[in-house]
Amino acid sequence: MGIEAKINTYLNNMPVVKKTIKRAYQLSMYAISPKIKYEGDIRRVSPSDGMEYFFGYYDKSPWDASDRYMLCLRAKDTTSTVAPEESAEIILIDTENNNSFKVLGKTNSWNVQQGCMLQWLGPDYSEKIIYNDFRDGKHCSIILNINTNLEKVIPMPVYSVAGSGKFALTLDFSRLHRLRPGYGYSNLQDNDKGEKCPNKPCIWYVNLENGEVKSLLQYTDFANFQPRTEMSEAEHKVNHIMLNPSGDRFMVLHRWINGTNKYTRLITLNIDGTHMYNLNDDDMTSHCYWKNDTEIIAYAHKKSGGNGYYLMKDKTDKYQRKWTELTSDGHPSYSPDRSMVITDTYPDRARIASVYLIKEDSAEKVARVFAPFKYDNDLRCDLHPRWNRSGNKICIDSVFEGRRGLYTINVSI
């Protein structure tokens, strides 16, 4: 572990002091570092009109099936609060018509990290989109046909949507907003704020065909599964649900906070909530992605190998360390044919974030972008690289031009 990582680990128990020291260190390092705005074949897709444009998370594609149309959000301000109460517009960009765009609608539930879970709805990914909203005092999700403008209201927000378009899984966005700023929604207060481990639902199954909702798991189900001593008196939450490609199994991060100590383990389950498996319980698992129905790539900690990217075999204790030259956390995803991986980094000491393309286990840096200081901490703009449907382009959210924008990078196959 390098000196910076050691200092970071030591300061985790002092968040206010850590933030102050981090900013002072970044300012001093930036002052003596070479200055760049960007490097690489980066092309802006969103308009340059003073507004902020971004898509959201790395596990979805903004492209439709034809790779012509792209989705994103447009907002006036993303630097004042992590989950603004002001609505954001849903934008459709035509990349074959000079990136012209039109407004499809708006959402009243969104955050700066994952947007409103905006995405094309399968299995055809061509005429229907789905996104989260807040209507009549309740969270919901909207299925919109962009050709007819007909919409269907689902009485629950979505988190991970099956490729079939038939169902989704979701969680409590109000509790998530309180415990992990930038990932939940601010519309409603967390009714379970006083309960550290509520004996209440935390993951739901949402039928997108008939709108029926049923609870799958409770917080106590996770706390009672292979419990650890650190869970005693800890506050529990779940985050980052992700369905496997066939939609018969999913992963979720179970996290608990005990004072200033934070722990995470990677849990996998069948779609009905059964056959829970503790895939990684070495205190830290960050960003993950299903390579296929049985393998997961994750930036995680292993007691045997430290922090890094690990390819894990579901329902077993088998894993491989991957790409040892990549030592910092990022957002990995496999190309549609699973032959390549794209991932990124957080801004370094000079406020430069990088994008890596991995072929045959060889990592190549394909882009670098500057992150202004006003986009930092919970208000940061992660790159969140995502693939197009053909696997020859990726897109990122970035702020190197001073505001959030949507950019593409060509990938040579």
* 308, 326 Cβ separation under 8 angstroms: yes
The pLDDT of residue 26 is 75
The pLDDT of residue 8 is 59
The pLDDT of residue 22 is 75
Work out the pLDDT band at 20, boundaries 50, 70, 90. Answer: confident
Full-model pTM: 0.93
| C-alpha separations of 204 from 136, 152, 213, 350, 396 in Å | 21, 19, 7, 42, 30
Residue with token string 């001593």: 229
* 394, 342 Cβ separation under 8 angstroms: yes
* 383, 353 Cβ separation under 8 angstroms: yes
* 251, 288 Cβ separation under 8 angstroms: yes
Pairing relationship of beta strands 69-75 and 52-54 according to DSSP bridges:
antiparallel
> In this structure, what are the phi and psi dihedrals at residue 386, rounded to the nearest 5 degrees?
-135, 150
The pLDDT of residue 2 is 56
285 has pLDDT over 80: yes
* 56, 84 Cβ separation under 8 angstroms: no
Quick one: which of 114, 169, 160, 107 has its CA closest to 135?
Answer: 107
Domains of the chain are 1-32 (no CATH), 53-329 (2.130.10.10)
Work out the pLDDT band at 334, boundaries 50, 70, 90. Answer: very high
- 378 residue type, one letter: D
The predicted-structure confidence for 104-146, as pLDDT tens digits, reads as follows 999 999 999 999 999 999 999 999 999 999 999 999 999 999 9
Residue with token string 């129905």: 293
Q: If you average pLDDT over every residue of the chain, what do you get?
A: 94
The predicted-structure confidence for 378-388, as pLDDT tens digits, reads as follows 999 999 999 99
Segment 203-214 shows an average pLDDT of 98
Concatenating the DSSP letter of every residue in 59-118 gives TS-SB-TTS-EEEEEEES-SSS-SS-SS-EEEEEEETTTTTEEEEEEEES--BTTTBT--
